[in-house]
Chain A
Amino acid sequence: DSGVTQTPKHLITATGQRVTLRCSPRSGDLSVYWYQQSLDQGLQFLIQYYNGEERAKGNILERFSAQQFPDLHSELNLSSLELGDSALYFCASSVAPGQGSSYNSPLHFGNGTRLTVT
């Protein structure tokens, strides 16, 4: 058990809808990362937060947004969903602040949320 909790495990929704994915990081970790994994795109970095502030942005669409709350849990909001958004969405946490510093610490991954857009 990585200590990272993601909910829900599965989500089925229709095109055009909006969903929220939730992540609780491992105790003591201040950084939260979001990744999207699809069969044809591999593991794509979306965004990272450290102690409530955005630290790095990857290939995140404008229809997607995220935030990290004072209790350090994070939410990823996906709106105007398209069929191509169907994927596994992973949250990971670490102690390191991330961008601008050497990580030298592993990421701890949750088991993901499987999103199916129909």
Chain B
Amino acid sequence: SQQGEEDPQALSIQEGENATMNCSYKTSINNLQWYRQNSGRGLVHLILIRSNEREKHSGRLRVTLDTSKKSSSLLITASRAADTASYFCATDTGNQFYFGTGTSLTVIP
């Protein structure tokens, strides 16, 4: 399966700390995207990184992509309670668009 795998499955941190979650996938991709899902709500797009990019920033988010290792990481700096959500990576292979299994992030005030 192309489906990405996020690691860890769950993460609990204190407000103000940084949160890092990882995504691994199996085949070549055109781009990789990260989404956030608040409980019971629809997914919200956070950031897209193309296969020829290695790092991208958006506000407190930093995404890296290593196509040789078929992996990506999402770093959320100076976390806030409002960052509590599930985070999914999604890979675009050109033929399919696959979501990973998600990381559940809890930020403790």
Q: Do A and B come from one complex?
A: yes
Which residues of A line the B interface, CB within 8 A?
A: 2, 4, 33, 35, 42-43, 45, 48, 56, 58, 88, 90, 92, 98-112, 114
By a CB distance below 8 angstroms, the chain B residues around A107 are 33, 35, 43, 45, 90, 97
Cα A2 to Cα B33 with chains together (Å):
17
Chain A interface, >50% SS class: loop
Question: Interface range on chain B: under 10, 10 to 19, 20 to 34, or 35 or more?
Answer: 20 to 34
Cα A108 to Cα B44 with chains together (Å):
7
Given known A42-B101, A42-B102, A43-B99, contact A104–B92 (CB-CB < 8 A): yes
4 closest pairs, A vs B, by CB?
A: A109-B42, A106-B45, A102-B30, A43-B99
Which residues of B line the A interface, CB within 8 A?
A: 3, 30-31, 33, 35, 40-45, 48, 50, 88, 90, 92, 94-102
Residue contact B31 to A111, C-beta cutoff 8 Å? no
Distance from A66 Cβ to chain B, minimum over Cβ atoms (Å)? 16
Distance from B52 Cβ to chain A, minimum over Cβ atoms (Å)? 11
Contact partner, B97, options A88, A103, A109, A111, Cβ 8 Å? A103
By a CB distance below 8 angstroms, the chain B residues around A101 are 94
Residue contact A45 to B97, C-beta cutoff 8 Å? yes
The contact sample of 30 A-B pairs, CB cut-off 8 A, is A4-B42, A33-B97, A42-B101, A43-B102, A45-B96, A45-B97, A45-B98, A92-B43, A101-B94, A103-B31, A103-B92, A103-B97, A104-B31, A104-B48, A104-B50, A105-B48, A106-B33, A106-B48, A107-B33, A107-B35, A107-B43, A107-B90, A108-B45, A109-B35, A109-B42, A109-B43, A109-B44, A110-B42, A111-B42, A112-B42
